[in-house]
Amino acid sequence: MIVRKAPVYAGHEKPWPLTFCHEQVLIYDRRVARAGPNPNRDKLELTTREAPVRLKAPLWHFSSRNLNHAVTKAIYVAKLAADTQAPRSAFALALRLPLEFPFAFVKYYVLRRHFLRGVDGFTYGMAGAFSRFIRIAMTLGRRKYPRERAPNVVS
């Protein structure tokens, strides 16, 4: 089933009106869908031509318990991405590094309408941008320090 996900900030019971939502297949029959090989992605591989059924009501997504959990999760996901993603061009990663944070912040704060939530929206917009930045930084670090020589940054 396709579910419309609406993020809910820690400490709140429901999403703010006009909250950015996105649709994703979340409820599925394991006979026709499987999670992809990358443990860092929530993308399903469907083996049927049937269109998924769309759930009518949105699903409220409590993705983090608090800001500490959001930052810890960002570091964990970044390390997982650095460990599992196919090697990327060090040059392209180095170009993205200084641009990733400001562009991701605009994406979260403006395009995904976090500005509607005041200080909470600003804080979680910054956390989202940090998440994108640290993923690029750790992936670049893996190119510089391969797995066998990599310093233990996150355990």
Position 55 in a domain? no
Residue pLDDT, tens place only, 78-93: 888 888 887 788 899 9
Position 38 in a domain? no
Residue pLDDT, tens place only, 13-30: 777 777 777 777 777 777
pTM over 0.75: no
Residue pLDDT, tens place only, 92-109: 999 999 999 999 999 999
Position 42 in a domain? no
**Cα 42-47-49 angle, rounded to 5 deg:** 110
Position 125 in a domain? yes
Q: What is the pLDDT of residue 150?
A: 47
Strands (E), the chain: 2-7, 22-25, 33-35, 44-46, 59-61
Strand-pair category, 44-46 with 59-61: unpaired
- The pair of structure tokens assigned to 4 is 């419309």
DSSP, residue by residue, 13-34: SSPPTT---EEEE-S--TTTEE
Show the domain range for 109.
65-149
Position 116 in a domain? yes
- How many structural domains comprise the chain? 1
